[in-house]
Amino acid sequence: MTTTVDDLNASVDAAHAAFEKGRAADPGTRAAWLEAIAAALENDADALVELAARETHLGEPRLRGELKRTVFQLRLFATEVRDGEHFDATIDHVDADWGMGPRPDLRRLNVPIGVVGVFGASNFPFAFSVMGGDSASALAAGCAVVHKAHDGHRNLALLTAGTVIAALDAAGAPSGLFSLVTGRPAAEALVDHPAVKAIGFTGSTAGGRALFNRAAARPEPIPFFGELGGINAVFVTENAWAARRDEILSGYAASLTMGMGQFCTKPGLLFVPGGQADGVRQVLSGALAGFAAARLLSRRLHEGYRQSVQDLRNTTGVDVLVEGDFDEAPAPTVLRTTSAAVRSDPSILRQEMFGPASLVVEYGDQSELLELTGLLEGQLTTTLQAEPDDDVSDLAARLTDISGRVLWNGWPTGVTVSYAQHHGGPYPATTSATTSVGTAAIRRFLRPVAYQSFPEGRLPEPLQDANPWRVPQRVDGVWQRPIRQGQTAGSAAQP
């Protein structure tokens, strides 16, 4: 079934009504809703994983791990909601002697923005889909969610949504707080609906940019938090290459083929010293020899992968280092080019191959690396493979300019859910300066409001001097953390 525009409008209207009912829920209540979803997903895990395996070609171990991540994320967000950091409650009392003149009573906190439209991803049917990071963080912020199911696993999306809605109903959440729609007409109407106040998206650059433009063209433009992918360049210094060449190549092979290369953080570029093509080919071939190929997520993605690899290998200055194939379960392909070729044609560095393929770029001298970063577009991640004595401060600084996460002697696949995580980057990696992973993702769906000279009893609970919700408050410039049940004074120390 495909959702009609009328049905979409009804879902958004119900979501807005649910948002109005639930926006003032205290942190404990809202956290309990998230925990109820987590428990329900765990309870329905067998059925969800079985259906996911049929629709996505992903193996059961991978899917169970992804579902575990999804459940963990919900519970982590529940903890964050209870802590109340996201309110950023700030209180400035009346001060007749304030430096620029008398100050009135001012109090500010973050409030939820309203209904959020979320578009699920194809490559993570749990972690970036129905109850993935966008949906979970929007609910944690106090928003309502209307989720547009990805066609690549529509039946799974419907089953997951049923689990989520039943869990919220049983937990006493307002009806309509979460709903699911399908089909392109509903997707376009979701972006257009005046009650929708933001969009979360994970997907292709072309599809994301079209929706981004649509959101910006509304009479009331709204934020579009789009993750559009990236190339994830890795830079290997001469010293690291001399000391750890085979280790680096083995790690590269494992990372580029993880999940059949269908991760947004796959290393798509590896910059290495030139002149060792035969040795590199031999090591990579050995590292890939035991690779167990699997089918890609869909026929459409398989065709896109084939086309992108063929387009790049037919580009002047590019040749094949490790020959793969485009069978139903494709073997990995590694292409090769030079720094001279990419300076002549920078588009070589901007071709994403969504699948088990990557490009090795040979440079003549390490001094070229800083210049080569200038040819790159925005990245989700960049990586430095370097030795302790390498002077790479300028290169590292440049990488922070073009990426959201910079790694030292690691590999970008694997994005843990945590407090300090940042999963984003300059365009075209994303369309914002925010993160879609980690507790900071909640703040995307909040906006600050200041209250001036309000009576104490009419202020929202996080801004009252009595602080009935026991949230952190910054009072006259000094952070105060209330001691919660089970805490000691030391664990509640001021930051």
Check pLDDT > 90 for residue 25: yes
Check pLDDT > 60 for residue 250: yes
Each residue's pLDDT tens digit, 354-395 = 999 999 999 999 999 999 999 999 999 999 999 999 999 999
CA pair distance 442, 219, nearest whole angstrom = 26
Q: What is the pLDDT of residue 487?
A: 54
Element (H or E) spanning 381, and its range? strand 379-385
Q: What is the pLDDT of residue 117?
A: 98
Each residue's pLDDT tens digit, 98-157 = 999 999 999 999 999 999 999 999 999 999 999 999 999 999 999 999 999 999 999 999
Parallel/antiparallel/unpaired status of strands 379-385 and 233-236:
parallel
7 pLDDT band, cuts 50/70/90, is very high
Q: Please, which residues have CB within 8 angstroms of residue 114's CB and are 6 or more apart in sequence?
A: 16, 19, 143, 144, 195, 196, 197, 198
Q: Which domains does the chain have, with CATH numbers?
A: 5-228+432-446 (3.40.605.10), 233-408 (3.40.309.10)
216 pLDDT band, cuts 50/70/90, is very high
Choosing from 35, 80, 85, 264, the catalytic residue is: 264
| In the chain, % of residues over pLDDT 70 | 98
Rounded mean pLDDT of 405-428? 96
Q: What's the token pair of residue 356?
A: 């088990």
Choosing from 227, 352, 362, 461, the catalytic residue is: 227
Check pLDDT > 90 for residue 493: no
Which long-range contacts does 311-315 make (Cβ < 8 Å, 24+ apart)?
311/351, 312/348, 312/351, 312/353, 312/359, 315/345, 315/347, 315/348
Q: Decide if 55 is catalytic.
A: no
Q: What is the pLDDT of residue 452?
A: 98
Q: What is the pLDDT of residue 490?
A: 44
Each residue's pLDDT tens digit, 278-334 = 999 999 999 999 899 999 999 999 999 999 999 999 999 999 999 999 999 999 999
249 pLDDT band, cuts 50/70/90, is very high
Q: Please, which residues have CB within 8 angstroms of residue 35's CB and are 6 or more apart in sequence?
A: 74, 75, 78
491 pLDDT band, cuts 50/70/90, is very low
- The per-residue pLDDT of the chain, averaged, comes to 95
The neighbouring-strand residues paired with 232 are none
| In the chain, % of residues over pLDDT 90 | 95
Rounded mean pLDDT of 36-60? 96
Check pLDDT > 90 for residue 338: yes
CA pair distance 403, 382, nearest whole angstrom = 6
Tallying the residues shown for the chain, one arrives at 495
230 pLDDT band, cuts 50/70/90, is confident
Check pLDDT > 70 for residue 492: no
Q: Decide if 227 is catalytic.
A: yes
Q: What is the pLDDT of residue 484?
A: 65
1 pLDDT band, cuts 50/70/90, is confident
pTM of the model: 0.94
Instruction: Please report, for residues 81, 119, 461, the alpha-carbon distance to residue 116 in angstroms, rounded to integers and kept in the order given.
Output: 18, 10, 24
Q: What is the pLDDT of residue 229?
A: 77
